[in-house]
Amino acid sequence: MNTIQRAVLFAAKKHASQLRKGTKTPYIVHPLGVMESLMFADASENAIVAGILHDTIEDTNTTYAELVNNFGARVADIVVGASESDKSQPWQIRKEHTIAALRKCNDMDVLAVVFADKLNNISSIYRDWQHIGDDVWKRFNRGCDSQMWYYGEICKIARERHESVSEPARTMMREYWYEYDSFVHAMERWARLNGCGDDREYTPEEEAYFSIMAIEHAAEIRKECPTLPLTPLEEYMKYSKQLGDEKTSDTDANKIAIKMQQLKAKFTEHDWDTLIYSSPVFMRAMINAQKKKHLAQK
């Protein structure tokens, strides 16, 4: 058994009774996700092992000496560097301490582990938000505003420092930054579509992202009910794909373009904007509504 395998077994035993906050997901899924990100970034074995173990001192009865004895002083030091120093302090003080420490930290392995950890956290929240919406924030003692403030401050550090740090920290900072921005843009868009967001214009890149996100999520949901009729969004995108196919003749292309215009004409400008660039939360609600209607007609 190699060191990484031993670390996985060690972490699995230490976190055996724990679940991810507000879910039925075994906690070990989180350190394994951190491990995967660090492997993707070609991190050192010490960093990967520390990533697997990063919550053992903070959230279990594991001691520094125990980590040294099992995995060496370097791994233990990385884990300590990636851990909150005093869990008895109030949430705000602990997070402010973490933010301040990250601004000064020059240990690339520690930075890589911390940002891999935050990446996995924000990705998990984002993924669950896509399915259950703002109910995801009920899992936390501190709600959406506090959580997004904290992750936003972490993102500022990633933006400020990613050019000046070396690998694997640079890759982890970039990956975190992109994921955080995607989440924020999705929430902004959802708020805007519901009449409670800002009115700023989104860039073509942002609009393309929202469209792709909705299409991908619709395809995932459709696996649950493959006989479900296509939504207008999916029908439009099906035509769009056919239109861009080199095998489509000019005659067929003209017919397809007419169908797309007819489909688009069915909606007001606001509705069309909603259908094309809706968040996955809206997409799920729309498809679930059609599913109920479809089943009721049987």
**55 is annotated as an active-site residue:** no
From the candidates 36, 59, 84, 206, give the one annotated as an active-site residue.
59
**58 is annotated as an active-site residue:** yes
DSSP notation for the chain: --HHHHHHHHHHHHTTT-B-TTSSSBTTHHHHHHHHHHHHTT--HHHHHHHHHTTHHHHSS--HHHHHHHH-HHHHHHHHHTS-S-TTS-HHHHHHHHHHHHHH---HHHHHHHHHHHHHHHHHHHHHHHHHGGGGGGGSSS-HHHHHHHHHHHHHHHHHHTTTS-TTHHHHHHHHHHHHHHHHHHHHHHHHHTT-S--PPPPHHHHHHHHHHHHHHHHHHHTT-TTSPPPHHHHHHHHHHHHT-TTS-HHHHHHHHHHHHHHHTTS-HHHHHHHHH--HHHHHHHHHHHHHHHHHT-
| Residue that the structure tokens 């053992």 belong to | 56
From the candidates 36, 45, 55, 58, give the one annotated as an active-site residue.
58
Catalytic residues, by residue number, are 58-59
